[in-house]
Structure 1
Amino acid sequence: MADDSNPVALIMIDVLDAFFAPGKPAYYPDSVKVLDPCRQLLDKARERDRLVVHTVERHRPGLADFEHKKIPVHCEIGDDQSPYVAGFEPVDRPNEVELAKRRYSAFYGTDLDLLLREQGIETLVIAGVKTNVCVRATVQDAFAAGYEILLVKEATNSNRPHLAEASLEDIDRYFGSVVSLEQALERL
């Protein structure tokens, strides 16, 4: 049974073709390992009518973007990298929203914190890619904003496994809790 005294939301990070579709520049073969756990989390959150926030990369085509100083152009609005992985699109219900982001952290330059606070959310179950980049940046900012963080180990990974493992260790030690899929499903 879920603990409704501490409201929880599911934050899905970048479940987009850019990372999961073979042939796309950000694709890596192990990315698909997180899809089943992410699907289970999404199904449970919908079943329990939890807030689900789909945070997705959305860069503006043809305009300068500071992120592109470090990594190649990707996930421009309307390009072939930006679509959701099939079956992970937001559904039409009030508790499910898309939040576009232009930086690694879903909190930077967005209204995510305002949205969560308006809904009384205190705990975030976080899943998606990549552990050492967008996931870690989001977790770190969530911690700084005072949220309880549950990062689902089976529902995140990276094309740099050693950095993913180091990030999981740091997140568990300094920012939140790295939990099993089973623990996250119970919390939702």
Structure 2
Amino acid sequence: MTKTALIVVDMQNSFLHPDGENYYPAAPEVIEPVRALIAAAETGGSIIVHVCDRHRDGFADFEQPRLPVHCVEGGFNAAFFEGFGPQGRAREILITKRRYSAFFATELALFLNEQGIGCVVICGVKTNVCVRATATDAFANGFEVNVVGPATNTNRPNLGEASLEDIDRYIGKVVDLETGKGLLA
């Protein structure tokens, strides 16, 4: 049986809190589906990978020409939204990223391979940016990719839909919430 890990992308104040610098009205719709996936992973003994986007204050960052300064370390926006991030569960880790993908320039692929993980379930925000980049790099690193459609979203619904279509066609599977929970059981 293939071991599975849950990758939870950017569930931070920046996107989910109404006062967040990157908040958008649809963002809170992912909160309950992502919580359900975390609960399923915890119950099933799957590894939970909490991914956060964090950047250094006062230092140049490659993303800045495309995006405004955001998720600065130590600030409100970089913090996990209430109830998300590591909570002292037995099988959870934190991955901090400075690019869209949770795999790029992090130890995530190394860690998952060391744990014998062959399959990943991905959820979080934003579908067309960090979720898609993470799914693409998971595929490139040889993992079976499952993105839980109802546990992702974006402020650009047309791009979110196109991203999910591409993920399902070229990278892995886009699954419903029950299927995602079942993969983590």
TM-score bracket relative to the smaller structure: over 0.9
Corresponding residue to 2:78 among 79, 82, 91: 82
Q: CA deviation at 1:157?
A: 0.5
Corresponding residue to 1:105 among 82, 101, 107: 101
Which ranges of structure 1 fall in alignment gaps of 5 or more residues? none
**Normalising by structure 2, what TM-score?**
0.97
Q: Deviations over 1:4-25 (max 9, x none)?
A: x100000000000000111322
Aligned to 2:114: 118
Q: Which piece of structure 1 moves more, 90-99 or 37-46?
A: 90-99
Q: State the distance in 2 between where 1:160 and 1:108 align.
A: 23
Q: State the distance in 1 between where 2:9 and 2:146 align.
A: 14
Aligned identity (percent) is 50
C-alpha root-mean-square deviation of aligned residues, in Å?
0.8
- Letter of the aligned partner of 2:136 in structure 1? Q
Q: Deviations over 1:131-153 (max 9, x none)?
A: 00000001011111111011001
Q: CA deviation at 1:94?
A: 4.2
Aligned to 1:46: 42
Dislocated runs of 4+, deviation >6 Å:
none
Residue 137 of structure 1 pairs with residue 117 of structure 2: no
Q: CA deviation at 1:47?
A: 1.1
- Letter of the aligned partner of 1:102 in structure 2? R
Q: State the distance in 2 between where 1:133 and 1:89 align.
A: 20
Q: State the distance in 1 between where 2:155 and 2:28 align.
A: 11
User: SS at 2:63's partner residue?
Assistant: helix
On the 8 A contact 2:56/2:72 being kept in 1, the answer is: yes
Q: CA deviation at 1:93?
A: 3.6
Aligned to 1:69: 65
Q: State the distance in 2 between where 1:134 and 1:153 align.
A: 14
